[in-house]
Structure 1
Amino acid sequence: MAVSFDLFGTLVRADRPADPGRAVAAALRERGVAVPADWGEAFREPHIDAPAGAEVPLPAHVAAALASRGVEAPENAARRAVVAAFDPDVERREGAETAIAAARERGPVGVCSNTSAPELARRTLIRADLADAFDAVVTSVGCGWRKPDERAFAALARRLDVAVADLVHVGDDPETDGGIEAVGGRFVDVTETPLPAVPAWLDAHGDGADDPDGVGP
């Protein structure tokens, strides 16, 4: 069995911008980019036609929003602005380390996180002192697909070298993290089973204790 964890809201609390568009605009101005007067509207508009379930990297969205208003940003300015705007203070949630250690006793452990901002997950893990805790970290901006799309979970399963149906995914959002159940895996909702209780959940369920025929999830 392999266990994966959602990051934001599950393993950590992070003070991400309340108004992402405004935060990105401020970071663009600091880099000499002329932010259009109607930036709020431009930022909210879709500019990239992506297939269902796909992640649009935020720097690409920002660059397209600027271009839609006739503003050309210097090379990498959009990416650098996004990285600067999403630079959070991070607090590791109670029970995170214990839950990860319990998961590691049963097999490989990974992170599967939705985030359109590059570098955000890596910085967050470093600040939470969890940078070396996982065998693989997959983000939507990295793999191109957002949970609950099955391709996000499949990307992590490949990195962990397990079947996607063998994943137990621990998260806080049934609509996104719960998507693991559509591909045969199991979902642990931390709003019902808090992180300190995850080791006991793994003890009770990890060897098919609740599924004597072994045909669950």
Structure 2
Amino acid sequence: MAVTFDLFGTLVDVAYPEDPGVAVADALREYGAEVPDDWDDAYREVHIDAPDGAEVPLPAHVAATLRSRGVDSPDNAARRAVITAFDPDVTTRPGAVEAVEAARDAGPVGLLSNCSVPELVARTLIRSDLDRRGFDAITTSVACGWRKPHPQAFEAVARNLDVDPSALVHVGDDPASDGGVEDVGGTFVTLETTTLDDFANDLRDGRYSWR
């Protein structure tokens, strides 16, 4: 058995920009990029044809949005603007630290997060009460290329933990995405019906065991 956790909405809460497109546009101007007059419409258009379930890194989308309007992204402005726009205010959720500690006592522990913004997961962990060293593997959709619930996202974190995907016990707040672990034979623990404190107690009581 290996325990994996979703990050956003599960272990932490993060305050996102009210209007991501506006936040990115403001940051682009800060880094010297020209923002098209129809930016709001352009930002909402699809500019990169990706397979179903694949992650499109937000900087790639922003750069493609600019190119679609004949605008260059100088000095990697698209990436820098995205990272600036999504500078997180982080709150660690009740029971998160204890749940990760209990999982470590049970076996390998991983983090599996849907996140299209480079560096956001790492910065979020630094600003949380969680210890990054408490995770044996940190897998993000922007790094592995696939978003939950796609099986390849769960297969990626399983490889990083050196376990079979069916050995995963995945904890998350979104059945539509986190529940995809069941498609690879794993076990889904939903925070809709279980608290992090309850999950930690279940681990200590041996409710979940090695397969």
TM > 0.5 between the two? yes
1:182-215 deviation digits (Å, cap 9, x = unpaired): 110000111210111112333353128xxxxx7x
Q: Which runs of 5+ in 1 are unaligned?
A: 209-213
1:134-188 deviation digits (Å, cap 9, x = unpaired): 1110000010000000100111001101001000000000000000001100001
Q: Give the whole-Å Cα distance in 2 for the aligned partners of 1:51 and 1:18.
A: 28
Deviation at 1:21, TM superposition (A): 0.6
Q: Give the whole-Å Cα distance in 2 for the aligned partners of 1:30 and 1:207.
A: 52
Q: Match of 1:160?
A: 161
Q: Give the whole-Å Cα distance in 2 for the aligned partners of 1:69 and 1:129.
A: 42
The count of residues paired between Structure 1 and Structure 2 equals: 209
AA aligned to 1:52 is: D
The answer to whether structure 1 residue 67 and structure 2 residue 49 are counterparts is no
Q: Match of 2:186?
A: 185
Q: Give the whole-Å Cα distance in 2 for the aligned partners of 1:155 and 1:176.
A: 15
* 2:207 aligned residue (197, 205, 208): 205
AA aligned to 1:4 is: T
1:87-137 deviation digits (Å, cap 9, x = unpaired): 111010000011011111111001000010000000001110322221110
SS of structure 2 residue aligned to 1:187: strand
Q: Match of 1:83?
A: 83
Q: Which runs of 5+ in 2 are unaligned?
A: none
Which of the two has greater helix per residue?
2
AA aligned to 1:205 is: R
TM-score normalised by the chain length of structure 2: 0.96
Deviation at 1:73, TM superposition (A): 1.2
1:44-59 to structure 2, matched below 5 A, reads: 44-59=44-59
Q: Match of 2:106?
A: 106
1:26-45 to structure 2, matched below 5 A, reads: 26-45=26-45
1:50-108 deviation digits (Å, cap 9, x = unpaired): 01110000000000000001111103110000000011110100000110111111110
Aligned-pair identity in percent equals 63
Q: Give the whole-Å Cα distance in 2 for the aligned partners of 1:165 and 1:205.
A: 17
Q: Match of 2:15?
A: 15
Q: Give the whole-Å Cα distance in 2 for the aligned partners of 1:80 and 1:129.
A: 26
SS of structure 1 residue aligned to 2:106: coil
AA aligned to 2:82 is: V
